[in-house]
Structure 1
Amino acid sequence: MTAPVLYDVQGPRGRRRVLISSIVGALVLLLVLGLAARRLAANGQFDYDKYKPFFTEPQLYRRLQDGLENTLHAAVYAMVLAAVLGVLLAFGRLSRRRFIRLPVIAVIEFFRGVPLLLLIFALFLAWPRVVHTDLPALWALVLALTLYNGAVIAEIVRAGVQSIPKGQTEAAYAIGLSRGQTLRMVLLPQAVRVMLPALISQLVVLLKDTSLGFVIGYAELLRTGGQLVQVLRNPLQLYLAVALIYIVINSLLSALAGYVEGRQRRTSARAPVAPTQVETGMGVL
């Protein structure tokens, strides 16, 4: 069978046009970068004094390390809580009982629609006025990230579960599994492979959104970088360093996701088919 293609194979003339366009685009990009570098050099942004603190101030790295640790603490707490909340909300939305499904839909749509920054302010400023108990900046940030990302993850999980062929559900019902058991034991494990790329992308967004903690005084990485800028007076260099830290962390997270996805794919390919498995026209349980 011939494999389907998404586009027609280009001929010699088409390949030549693509090559010319690529060369022109690369030259334009190099020109823009050259003009930017020239402007930065004219403003003294390449002077040694701007980079000297990175070589002579060990306190700078300790402060950045403290900010990074605070960022990771908030991100890990929020990732775990958002994943649990997302799965619970997804199961509620997939419920056949209207008195469960409709309130869950309302909760998901509400927290997806409310800006994350507003949630952070509400938990940090309004919560103490309502319950007369102060909420630490860390947990105000974590709970806001959990509510927002949990609602988004719920939709990712729901879409992943609904993408599984109906034959899997029918086969699970045929061997006596309930609706809840089918979701937990059959559909969700298979949906994980489908939704893993979208789920990891959302976790990367969550990690970057921890930078919003600066508005409530949480000493995460971006706020720490801003405090250092006020002392060292080199904002371009320090914020570039902070951006590189975020890029490295997100790249590691994406690499981990790729490894897990590849491992799951290899495990599924090697898994033997047991003779007691229930087979249907659309899938195998």
Structure 2
Amino acid sequence: MNYHWNWQFFLQQTDDGLRYYEWILSGLGWTTLVSLGALALALIVGSVLGVMRTTERRALVLIGDSYVDLFRNIPLIVQLFLWFFVVPELLPEAIGLWVKQELPYVATAIVGLGLYTAARIAEQVKSGIQSLSRGQRNAGLALGFTEWQTYRYVRLPMAYRIVLPALTSEAMNVFKNSSVTYAVGMLELYFQYKQIIEKTSQVLEITLVVTLLYVTLAFTMNRLLGWVERRTRVPGLIAAGQGGH
């Protein structure tokens, strides 16, 4: 293969006065911001949905199940387009205009990616709650807790510990799925990757660097949640050697 390697191109100045390595660092920052924001939103919404789907109220179960079925069966990129192009048109004119002209792209990216991931986390939370014995719920009620207090103080803390390995995988997927947000204007890592290739044609160098950065982000989240898992493990519920993958 007659390919000319040139690692020094990262130091070359671009049309906007920055250097190519600064484009990469900027994209890395936006990728991290979108991923962490979406993960926080997904954990909140997913936990609420997981609880709703394990209650004895059929209306709440129906709402939770409908959300999961809908959001898990529409591709992420289509959902982002819906939030970016369609939803503003369905809102009152003044609000829709504000969303299209004033709302930062990062907000749309976080909402789209977060609500998509929430459907997957809801499945994990539901499974964790259902794996617990009914005796824990009954013990909480016997102590005078309300139904919702048993979730908050008894069932959810245990459920999170059980499904933490699965949540680790979802957290890693958020960083990888964030690459799709370039489609709605986010200048994240994948966007900068494509832009640099178009301007320099140094495909191999930039591909290796961006790949390494994505691996580093996902691996860092894996190790962080693995540490949390080891600190919060409940003997007898999670195997001693099990970790996040």
What is the TM-score when the length of structure 1 is the normalising length? 0.74
Check if 1:43 corresponds to 2:8.
Answer: no
Alignment partner for residue 64 of structure 1, among 12, 19, 24?
A: 24
Following superposition, the deviation at residue 208 of structure 1 comes to 0.9
Percent of aligned positions with the same letter in both sequences? Answer: 31
DSSP-derived class of the 1:52 partner: helix
Check if 1:92 corresponds to 2:52.
Answer: yes
Aligned to 2:9: 53
Contact 2:136 2:154 in 1 (8 A): yes
Opposite residue 85 of structure 1, the aligned amino acid is: V
Check if 1:128 corresponds to 2:59.
Answer: no
Opposite residue 21 of structure 2, the aligned amino acid is: Y
Contact 2:54 2:129 in 1 (8 A): no
Following superposition, the deviation at residue 165 of structure 1 comes to 2.3
Check if 1:219 corresponds to 2:191.
Answer: no
- Find the aligned partners of 2:186 and 2:11 in 1 and give their Cα distance: 27
Aligned to 1:208: 176
Opposite residue 90 of structure 2, the aligned amino acid is: V
Aligned to 1:157: 125
Measured against aligned partners, the alpha-carbon deviations of 1:105-125 in whole angstroms (never above 9, x if no partner) come to: 111211111111110011111
Opposite residue 142 of structure 1, the aligned amino acid is: I
Check if 1:260 corresponds to 2:228.
Answer: yes
Check if 1:139 corresponds to 2:107.
Answer: yes
DSSP-derived class of the 1:95 partner: coil
Aligned to 2:208: 240
- Find the aligned partners of 1:54 and 1:142 in 2 and give their Cα distance: 29
DSSP-derived class of the 2:132 partner: coil
- Find the aligned partners of 1:256 and 1:51 in 2 and give their Cα distance: 32
Following superposition, the deviation at residue 90 of structure 1 comes to 1.1
Opposite residue 130 of structure 1, the aligned amino acid is: L
DSSP-derived class of the 1:176 partner: coil
Following superposition, the deviation at residue 196 of structure 1 comes to 0.6
Gaps of 5+ in 2: 236-245
Larger RCO (CA within 8 A; separation ≥ 6): 2
Measured against aligned partners, the alpha-carbon deviations of 1:133-170 in whole angstroms (never above 9, x if no partner) come to: 21532222211112111111111101011112222122
Following superposition, the deviation at residue 174 of structure 1 comes to 2.2
Following superposition, the deviation at residue 55 of structure 1 comes to 6.0
Opposite residue 187 of structure 1, the aligned amino acid is: R
- Find the aligned partners of 1:128 and 1:143 in 2 and give their Cα distance: 13
Contact 1:120 1:144 in 2 (8 A): yes
Alignment partner for residue 116 of structure 2, among 143, 148, 167?
A: 148
Opposite residue 159 of structure 1, the aligned amino acid is: S
How many residues align structurally? 223
Contact 1:124 1:136 in 2 (8 A): no
Following superposition, the deviation at residue 178 of structure 1 comes to 2.1
The CA RMSD over aligned residues, in Å, is: 1.7
Opposite residue 193 of structure 2, the aligned amino acid is: G
